[in-house]
Amino acid sequence: MKYFGLVWKNAWRKKVRTSLTVLSVLVAFLLFALLNAIGYAFRSGEDVSSAERLIVINKISLINPLPMSYQARIASTPGVADVTHASWFGGYYQDPRNQFAQFPVEPEEYFALYPELVIAPEQLDAFAKNRIGAVVGRELAEKFGWKLGDRIPILSTIWPKADGDRNWEFDLEGIMQSDDPRGSTAFMLFHYDYFEEARRFGKGTAGWYILRIAKGANPVGVANAIDEQFANSPNETETSTEAAFAASFAKQFGNIGLIVQLILGAVFFTLLLVAGNTMSQSVRERIPELAVLKTVGFRDSAVLGIVLSESVLIILMGGIFGLGIGWLLVQGAAQAMGASLPGIYLSPQSMLFAVGIMIGAGIFAGLFPALKAMRLTIVDALARG
C-alpha cells in the first residue's frame, strides 16, 4: 500500500488510453453480470429442486398427458410415499404479453409435496374450499396489484371450456412465497377438479405426476419400477429426479450454460488482449523512469509489484463499476421480468467469483510487462531512453 500513490499516478499517465481500457473492462463485467443472472434463471429450477421428489411424464413428450388412472398405480409402487399431479394451463392475464405459468392441482396434496411454498394456513384452507379459488406467488401479486378476494380472468391459449369460451375466472384466495431466496413463485395454482369439469377435451388426464419417495428408498430403483409398470402401454412413462426434469425443461431453450460460457470466454479473451496491450505500451514508454526507480534504490521485486499492481488496479476499476451497474440492472430486470422469466439473480458467489477473475486477469495481463520491467538493467534502460 505504501506505493499506492505511485501506482495510481502511473495508471493514469495516459488518461485517454486508461479510460478506454477501463471502459472495455466495465463492459466485459457488465456482460458477465447480465449473462450470469440470465443463466441462473434457467438453472434455478435445478438449484432449488428436492432430492426426494421425482417427476413422471409421458415418454414421448411433456406435452402428451397421462391417464389419471396412473396416480393410484404410482402411489402403490414400493418406495413411493406421496403422489399428486399438475398440468400446464397456458394462459395470460389481459394481454398476451402478460404470460406466466398456471397449474391445475390438488390444493392440499400439492402444498404437502412442496413444503418450501409458504402460505398462511387460513389462506390454504380458503383455497381448498373454493372450487374456483386460486393462489398466486407474491411476485405476481405485486406485479399486477392483486389482492385477496380479487376476481382474476385468465385467457387460456390451450384449454377452452365446454361451451368454447377460453376465459377462465378465479377468486384469489391466497398469496404464497418460497422460503428459499433462490426459488420463484411467479405462477398460479388452481383446482384441478374445476379444470377437469369445465374443459372441453382431455378429460381424465394430467400433465405429469409428482411424487415423494419414502425415507431410505432408492430414487433410481423407484423410477425404474414406475416406468416398468407402464412399459409397452399406450402411454409409457419417463421418471426422473426433479433436478433432471428441470434441466431437461431448460434445455428446450438450448444449452444456455454453454452459450453463456462461450460468450464470456470470447469477451474475456478480448479483455486480456486489450489490458495486456495497455500494460505493454505503458512499460515501453516508461523504461527510463523504471531505470531511475532502480537507481534510487527500488528493488527488482518492488518494480515487479508496482507494474502488476497497476494492471490489477485498472482491471478492478472497470470490473467493479461494471459489476455494480450489472447488479442494478439485474435488480430491475428481476422486478420487470419476474413473471415471464423468474429466477433472475446475481448471487454473492458469482460476484466474488467475478472479483477473483478481475484479480487473476490483472495479474495475467500485467505479468509479461512486469517481468520485462523487473529484468531491465539500469545501463540498458537509460541508454534506450
**Alpha carbon 296 to chain centroid, angstroms:** 54
Instruction: Determine whether 262 is exposed, middle or buried from the number of CB atoms within 10 Å of its CB (0-12, 13-18, 19+).
Output: exposed
**Residues 245, 170, 141: CA angle, nearest 5 degrees:** 70
Give me the DSSP letters along 73-112: HHHTSTTEEEEEEE----EESSSTTSEEEEEEE-HHHHHH
Cβ neighbours of residue 87 under 8 Å, at least 6 residues apart?
65, 103, 104, 192, 195, 205, 206, 207, 208
Residue 201: which of 161, 251, 156 has the closest Cα? 161
d(CA 281, CA 352): 30
Look at residue 341 in the predicted model and tell me its pLDDT: 62
Strand partners, 83: 211
d(CA 320, CA 332): 19
Q: Are 287 and 376 in contact (CB under 8 A)?
A: yes
Look at residue 48 in the predicted model and tell me its pLDDT: 46
Look at residue 45 in the predicted model and tell me its pLDDT: 52
pLDDT per residue as tens, the chain (385 positions): 567 777 888 778 888 988 999 999 999 999 989 888 887 776 655 454 567 899 999 999 888 999 999 999 999 999 999 999 999 999 999 999 888 999 999 999 999 999 999 999 999 999 999 999 999 999 899 989 999 999 999 999 999 999 999 999 999 999 999 887 667 788 999 999 999 999 999 999 999 999 999 998 898 999 999 999 999 999 999 999 887 777 666 565 556 667 777 888 888 888 888 888 888 888 787 777 777 777 777 787 888 888 888 889 999 999 999 999 999 998 887 776 655 566 677 888 889 999 999 999 889 888 888 888 787 777 665 666 5
Three-state secondary structure call for residue 179: coil
Look at residue 137 in the predicted model and tell me its pLDDT: 94
Kindly report the pTM of this predicted structure: 0.66
d(CA 31, CA 40): 14
d(CA 276, CA 83): 58
Look at residue 377 in the predicted model and tell me its pLDDT: 74
Q: Are 36 and 330 in contact (CB under 8 A)?
A: no
Look at residue 197 in the predicted model and tell me its pLDDT: 96
C-alpha cell at 189: 395454482
Q: Are 365 and 275 in contact (CB under 8 A)?
A: yes
Domain locations along the chain? 4-45+255-384, 48-253
Residue 199: which of 232, 159, 239 has the closest Cα? 159
